[in-house]
Amino acid sequence: MSDLIDDPTPGLNEPEFSVTEISNAIKRVIEGEFGHVRIRGEVGRVSRPRSGHLYLDLKDEKSVLNGVIWKGVAARLSVQPEEGMEVVATGRMTTFGGQSRYQIVIEDIKPAGMGALMAMLEKRKQMLAAEGLFAPERKQPLPYLPEIIGVVTSPSGAVIRDILHRLRDRFPRKVLVWPVAVQGEKCAAEVAHAIRGFNALEPGGRIPRPDLIIVARGGGSIEDLWGFNEEIVARAAADSQIPLISAVGHETDTTLIDYVADKRAPTPTAAAELAVPVRLELMAWVDGQGARMANALSQTITSRGQRLRDLSRALPRPDTLLDTPRQRLDRAGERLPAALITGVQRRRVALSEASGSLRPSLLARQVATERRRLDNAAPRLAQGLAKAVQAKGEALGRRADRLTLGPIRRELARQSDRLDALSRRLSEAGTRQTGEWRRRIDALDRLRETLGYKATLKRGYAVVRGEAGVLTTKKAAEQATALEIEFQDGRLKLGGGGGGGGTARRAAKPGKPPEQGSLF
Amino acid sequence: MSDRPVSEMTFEEAMKELEDVVGQLERGDVALDDSIKLYERGAELKKRCETKLKEAEEKVAAITLDGEGNPAGLQPVEGQ
């Protein structure tokens, strides 16, 4: 055991580093060894936090190297690194001990040759073209004579001077300069902002809104012009509602903004020429138009006057125009009296023809004829009358003949017969009726006789009467002063007083029972 | 002839119509009364064009920007 413990392991006596000590040692070695390096690689992931520093990866097929570009350096870069860009980065290596990492602090970064830069630009161009930003139908026509021209450029420099100078030559206009950086890191953002800023101005506002924008920059290296290849600039130009002329660099330089601009000018001076017409030429043109117009009008009037004269020459003279009618009038005038006379003569012939047949003898003959007819008729009038009376008389006679007593008598006889018959029937009926009635009366009388008290009297009954009529009671008989008894063959009067009464009573008494007996 | 008042026309509009008017007059196929009216219209258009051409005024100003890069005002630019 002790052997093992005491046996020293080789190297145990070497000094020990703390983690920080070794980190710092490594940092020293690396920063000392790689204080200035140039590294070629492809840009990988790029991030731009709000701090303004720029973090990116450099890579090749096998390895990745972290890199950082501090804010101040990043602002100075003419070409901003983008993912996929082939670059050469210059800087120093350093470590980041806190995370056991090493990285390069880039002091400059450039595209690795023109080819890389152009390839990137081509890629961007294809993307924007695919979006249709370069389409000809997107291009707006430039105003013929803009009132206000907005120029996006550097306020100091030859470019704005050239533009103003050319404008003054052609047609002095109001110009608004929006100052921007035309190269460096700020360039793209400022140019894009300026284009959008001009568009955002209200027409008639405090700052007047231009009706044409010129984005201009003088010539320079491709890196100098690179800001105008940036996507934000191209998009701002494409979005511009105000027609936009791009004039960046020299004639041979083409930047991305040239593709989206409504018009591309090869130089700033050319942009001014595109922007405005030449005033003097226009004045001459206007004068020319005025002259042509005056000429045309006078020509119109002249030609019409000529035409009028031509026409009036073709018009016949009034005299000749009237000759023919006048001749006709003369001829008609000559024929008028003759015609009148002829007319009168013709009528006269007709009259004489008519009056020739109109003679008194003709009338007299007619009168005589009529008279003869009258004379013939007159005697026949009385005859006719008499004949008519006679005829009527005869007709009356005929009628009267037919009017005899025969039919009436026959009618009377017939009616009388009917009356006799009816009387006979009446008397027969009456006799029959009365006979009937007599037979019935006889029968009834016989019945009456049989039923009457007289018959009863034959059977021995008597009727007792007082002064007041028939007495039927003993009491009434006693009271009666005189009684009368009727028998079958007559009446017996019993004297007055009691004797009478007694008799009556006696008479009455026997009177009663027969009656009663007959009743039973 | 358009109905638009000449005084409201831009230079380009007035110019186009003036061209039309001249063309019509030169063809000479317009009735005399109408051609006089056309001429008067043309004269008016010509005057409008001349007025717009006289408005040739050079005035250059630079936009001043505030801290955030937005336009704050105008500053005359002289001696360019």
A248: CATH: 3.40.50.2300
Span of A45-49, A228-232, A471-475 with lowest mean pLDDT: A471-475
- Confirm whether A494 is domain-assigned: yes
User: Is A174 found in the same domain as A97?
Assistant: no
List the CATH number of the domain containing A39. 2.40.50.140
Q: Which residues contact A207 (CB under 8 A, 6 or more apart)?
A: A176, A201, B63, B71, B73, B74
Give the residue numbers in B contacting A (CB under 8 Å), as ranges.
10-12, 15, 18-19, 21-22, 25-26, 28, 30, 32, 35-36, 39, 42-43, 46, 49-50, 52-53, 56-63, 65, 69-71, 73-74, 77, 80
Q: Would you state the pLDDT for residue A517?
A: 45
The answer to the question of residue A184 being in a domain is yes
Question: Looking at the structure, do residues A170 and A107 belong to the same domain, yes or no?
Answer: no
CB contact under 8 A, B71 and A197: yes
Asked if the Cβ–Cβ distance from A176 to B25 is below 8 Å, we say no
Q: What is the pLDDT of residues A344-368, one digit of tens each?
A: 999 999 998 888 777 788 888 889 9
Q: Judge whether A329 is closer than 8 Å to chain B, CB to CB.
A: no
Indicate whether A249 belongs to any domain.
yes
Is residue A213 a part of any domain in this protein? yes
**Look-up: residue for tokens 């008639």?**
A204
pLDDT in tens, A123-172: 888 999 999 889 999 999 999 989 899 999 998 888 999 999 999 889 98
pLDDT of residue A213: 95
What's phi and psi for A438, nearest 5 deg?
A: -60, -45
Q: Which helix (H) or strand (E) holds A413?
A: helix A406-451
CB count, 10 Å around CB of A249?
Answer: 23
Shared-domain flag, residues A99 and A178: no
Total tally of structural domains belonging to chain A: 3
Q: Let me know whether A107 and A151 are in one domain.
A: no
* Domains of chain B by start residue, with CATH: 6-74 (1.10.287)
Candidates B11, B12, B40, B46, partner chain A, best to mutate (most A CBs within 10 A): B11
Give the SS3 label for residue B30: coil
Is the pTM value of this prediction over 0.80? no
| Predicted-complex ipTM score | 0.82
Closest CA of chain A from B5, distance in Å: 19
Q: Is A399 part of any domain?
A: no
Claim to verify: residue A191 and residue A227 sit in the same structural domain: yes
Asked if A293 lies within 8 A of B28 by C-beta distance, the reply is no
Q: What is the pLDDT of residue A507?
A: 43
Residues A272 and A152 in one domain: yes
A210 interaction partners in chain B (CB closer than 8 Å): none
A77 and A49 fall within a common domain? yes
Q: Which of B17, B20, B22 to mutate to test the interface with A (most CBs of A within 10 A)?
A: B22
Please give the order of strands across the beta sheet that includes A148-153.
Answer: A263-264, A244-248, A212-217, A148-153, A174-179, B59-65, B71-76
Contacts of A500 (CB under 8 A, 6+ apart): A480, A481, A482, A483, A494
Residue A129 and residue A97 in one domain? no
Q: What range does the domain containing A489 cover?
A: 455-507
pLDDT at A397 over 50: yes
Instruction: Return residues 116-175 of A near B (CB < 8 Å).
Output: 143-145, 155, 160-161, 164-165, 167-168, 171-175
Same domain, A221 and A78: no
| Percentage above 70 pLDDT, chain A | 93
- The pLDDT-based confidence of A249 (bands split at 50, 70, 90) is confident
Q: How many CB pairs under 8 A join A and B?
A: 119
For B29, which residue in chain A has the nearest alpha carbon?
A: A300
Residues of B in contact with A197 (CB under 8 A): 63, 69-71
Report d(CA A3, CA A158) in Å as an integer: 91
Instruction: Please tell me the predicted confidence (pLDDT) of residue A473.
Output: 84
Nearest CA in chain A to B43: A290
Write out pLDDT tens, residues A316-325.
777 788 888 8
